[in-house]
Amino acid sequence: MDGVWEAVRTRTDYAALVPRPRTDIERADLRKRDGTPYTVLKNPAGDSGAGTYVRLEGPDVELYELMDGRRTTSEIIVAYLERKGVFALDRLARLTAALGVNGFFGEQRLDAYRRPRIRRARRDPIVRMSGWLRRLVVWNIATWNNAEGFVDVLYRAGGGLAFTRAGATVVLAFSLFGLGVWLREFTSPRHQLFTVEGSFLLGLLALILLQVLAITVHEAGHALAIRHYGRRVRQLGVALYYLFPCVYVDSTDMTLASRRQRVVVSLAGPLAGVAVAGACALVAAAQPETLLGAIAFKAATLLVFQFVINLLPILELDGYHVLVDALDVPLLRQRALGFVRGGLTRKLRRRERWSRAELGLALYGVLAIAVSLVTLGFSLWIWESRLQVAARELLRGGVFGVAVLALLVVVFVGPLLLALVARLVGLGRTAMRTVAARRRQAHENVIAERVALLDRIRFLRGLPRPALAAIADHLVEERFAAGDIVVTYGEPGDRFYLVRSGRLEVLLADGEPKGAMIVPGEGFGELALLDRVPRSATVRATEPTELWSLDRGHFHRWVAERYEVAGRIRASVDERDTLARLPFFRGLDAMELTRIAARMRTERVSAGDAVFAEGERADRYFVIRSGEAEIRSADGGSRRIGPGEGFGEMGLLYGRPRGATVVAATDLVLSAIDRADFGALVRASGETVGEFRARTAHYLGAGLAGAVGGG
């Protein structure tokens, strides 16, 4: 058992892994259009002998070359770090994963998630229908890996002559001559493309059979070109294409060839078709009034149209691959369409400068969309002008004709309809996801705003953001018009309120205004919930107001049951009561005192140190929380004050220089409020600082300020 566990540990310990590539790996060192090198590796034993391929960029190649079968991954990382000065753990992990999945280290790993992904995808009815229709359109019958033997027979039988200089010249000249003959026959009224002996149905069946022949010729051209460059036809297969047999080839092995060779292979298919089209055109010209001539004309026409369509770089066919290889721009179509959908409108709207690459993507994307629309229009024209006639012929043929028509509709029209339905469903799902994302983003924005507001509440400040977010998520939005009562004196406290916008006033038990205003960013109602007592005042909106409220249950869960939060609430009440006992703040209501207490900051002064000196700039007011202070006036008098007493009020109101010196008789703990904060609070209450001075004149005029304040 120890050996088993050691093997498991070794296999699962990535640092101890020794990457040992197979000895039969094929390697091709190539260059991009700009000269940048890259490498393609082939595992000939991968995919049941068909071969698997991996493309490596420069850094990947250097890491691969360090895999000598002796170094562990950790040693490879160290060696690469010494050479390049880069810690390439992530790159090496991706590289070994790609090589391992494709069998470059021996046994090809199974994709454990492939089958569950397929099962999950098949739950979608559109995916299931698409799979069924795909089998009707293209049904793979047989496949041979590395079928170069059969292709070699065709190549030696004469196909290879087309790739010699003389042979290529003859083929091109013959193709051009044949195209000229076909053009003359195409403009002649003696040939009909869509009918055979006057029947649209027979004409349609003939075109389908000829299309299968055209595909086979096209694929044969690709296969011969692959053989000419010494690469393998990775797979040769026979499939039912629209219910008729045809041959296809897999040209993936050309990834180990140069760009020029890949371009030739892409062109070989269309050129093979146009050469055969020329031969068919000559037969049609020689036998114009016979069935053979009619079939030959249809074959030539189909091959010519296939030649033109395949070379259109807008469609993802041979011309597209030629353009991609010539420009060395992978995924050109996807990038262009993505740019047209997003970047194009942004560029036009902002009138930004265009780069050459952006101009190319925009041009290609617009042309791709235009060609798609033209193709759709052409298909509709064919249906209107030709296929309807064939459909009526089938309907007159009884049950058999109806069955054939139904099969043709399923095979030819079904995929188009399914693609349209899939696109509509995809658009619907995208729209739903977009709406859901916008709702989610709006909800997140609201939560963020609520969290910011909650964090300004003194007793909630400092709570972890997840706790604030949980509270914010349970807040309920409530709106009140001017004059509406929010809470009433004496009623049970059932909600805590936060003011998002608007203003509210506090009323006494008899309904008279108390003079206190509640402004945005403030909360009220927490004491009634915390102590389970009736409301101590009535609150009325003075203008349209929006509130966020938290019900009793969530308040107790998130606030009251947190001892530190409840302690802050009670400490705030105690501090407010302390302020209310000071002569300077006598007459202020509870809301104003709460605001002042929330702005006060704790300061500590050691015994013997001065809190401030006579003549200094007055900028703060102090309240003693513990300890004693000595006030020393300019005439030599002094007085001690203790906890609950304050000094420095003249600085709050007038900003005059200090009229006395205050020294800590013992270690002091003070609460202090800045003059700027105090002025902002006074203005927020609806008063001016001058009005506040007038309201406190009885205290200042009584001569107490000098005794207690010290300036």
Tell me how far apart the alpha carbons of residues 314 and 364 are, in angstroms, rounded to a whole number: 7
Q: Which two tokens stand for residue 520?
A: 């945005």
Nearest to 299 by CA among 283, 315, 317: 283
Residue 418 lies in a domain: no
Please, which pLDDT band fits residue 703 given cuts at 50, 70 and 90?
very low
Q: Are 613 and 658 in contact (CB under 8 A)?
A: yes
| Cα 638 versus chain centre, distance | 71
Map tokens 């190649």 to a residue.
Answer: 61
Q: Are 297 and 189 in contact (CB under 8 A)?
A: no
Please, which pLDDT band fits residue 464 given cuts at 50, 70 and 90?
confident
Tell me how far apart the alpha carbons of residues 246 and 210 are, in angstroms, rounded to a whole number: 11
In this model, does residue 544 exceed pLDDT 90? yes
CB burial of 16-53 (b: ≥16 within 10 Å; e: otherwise) equals ebebebeeebeebeeeeeeeeeebbbbbbbbbeebbbb
Residue 322 and residue 337 share a domain:
no
Q: Which two tokens stand for residue 76?
A: 């490879």
Residue 336 and residue 320 share a domain:
no
User: Which one is predicted more confidently, 501 or 208?
Assistant: 501
Residue 586 lies in a domain: no
Q: How far is CA 53 from CA 45, 102, 165, 241, in A?
A: 11, 7, 32, 28
Give pLDDT tens digits for 241-266. 666 677 888 888 999 998 899 999 99
Tell me how far apart the alpha carbons of residues 405 and 407 are, in angstroms, rounded to a whole number: 5
So what's the pLDDT on residue 121? 61
So what's the pLDDT on residue 39? 93
Q: Specify the CATH number for the domain of residue 637.
A: 2.60.120.10
For strands 646-647 and 620-626, give the pairing. antiparallel
Residue 272 and residue 361 share a domain:
no
Residue 318 and residue 349 share a domain:
no
Query: Of 396, 423, 444, at which residue does a domain stop?
Result: 396
Residue 270 and residue 153 share a domain:
yes
CB burial of 396-405 (b: ≥16 within 10 Å; e: otherwise) equals eeeeebeeeb
Phi, psi at 611, each rounded to 5°? -75, -45
Residue 371 lies in a domain: yes
Tell me how far apart the alpha carbons of residues 118 and 356 are, in angstroms, rounded to a whole number: 41
In this model, does residue 612 exceed pLDDT 80? yes
Residue 301 and residue 211 share a domain:
yes
Residue 613 has, within 13 A of its CA and on its CB side, a CA count of 3
Rg (CA), the chain: 43
So what's the pLDDT on residue 369? 75
- Which range, 106-120, 524-538, 577-591, 687-701, is most confident? 524-538
Q: Which two tokens stand for residue 300?
A: 């030539």
Residue 302 and residue 175 share a domain:
yes
Residue 92 and residue 177 share a domain:
no
Predicted TM-score (pTM) of this structure: 0.57
Residue 637 lies in a domain: yes
Tell me how far apart the alpha carbons of residues 469 and 452 are, in angstroms, rounded to a whole number: 10
- Using left for φ > 0, alpha for ψ between -120 and 50, and beta otherwise, residue 177 falls in alpha
Nearest to 371 by CA among 312, 445, 441: 312
Give pLDDT tens digits for 305-331. 888 888 877 777 888 888 888 888 887
Q: Are 66 and 53 in contact (CB under 8 A)?
A: no
So what's the pLDDT on residue 383? 56
In this model, does residue 394 exceed pLDDT 70? no
Residue 272 and residue 258 share a domain:
yes
Query: Of 268, 295, 328, at which residue does a domain stop?
Result: 328
Residue 174 lies in a domain: yes
Cα(first)–Cα(last) distance of the chain, in Å?
86
| Cα 176 versus chain centre, distance | 51
Which element (helix H / strand E) includes 517? strand 513-518
So what's the pLDDT on residue 177? 92
Residue 163 and residue 269 share a domain:
yes
Residue 635 lies in a domain: yes
Tell me how far apart the alpha carbons of residues 541 and 522 are, in angstroms, rounded to a whole number: 14
Please, which pLDDT band fits residue 42 given cuts at 50, 70 and 90?
very high
Q: Which two tokens stand for residue 693?
A: 């001075």
- The mean per-residue pLDDT over the stretch 688-700 comes to 52
| Number of Cβ within a 10 Å radius of residue 365 | 23
Q: Specify the CATH number for the domain of residue 7.
A: 3.90.930
Phi, psi at 169, each rounded to 5°? -65, -45
Residue 139 lies in a domain: no
Residue 63 and residue 80 share a domain:
yes
In this model, does residue 12 exceed pLDDT 80? no
Please, which pLDDT band fits residue 702 given cuts at 50, 70 and 90?
very low
Residue 471's domain comprises 465-576
Which element (helix H / strand E) includes 139? strand 138-145
Which element (helix H / strand E) includes 438? helix 414-454
Q: What's the structural domain count of the chain?
A: 5
Query: Of 110, 134, 157, at which residue does a domain stop?
Result: 110
Q: How far is CA 381 from CA 308, 321, 326, 412, 507, in A?
A: 19, 29, 35, 15, 79
| Number of Cβ within a 10 Å radius of residue 438 | 10
- Using left for φ > 0, alpha for ψ between -120 and 50, and beta otherwise, residue 587 falls in left
Mean pLDDT of the chain: 78
Q: How far is CA 125 from CA 35, 104, 117, 418, 422, in A?
A: 48, 37, 15, 11, 10
Residue 406 lies in a domain: no
Residue 283 and residue 181 share a domain:
yes
Q: Which two tokens stand for residue 387?
A: 């296929």
Give pLDDT tens digits for 155-201. 888 888 888 889 889 989 999 998 899 888 888 877 776 677 777 66
Residue 190 has, within 13 A of its CA and on its CB side, a CA count of 15
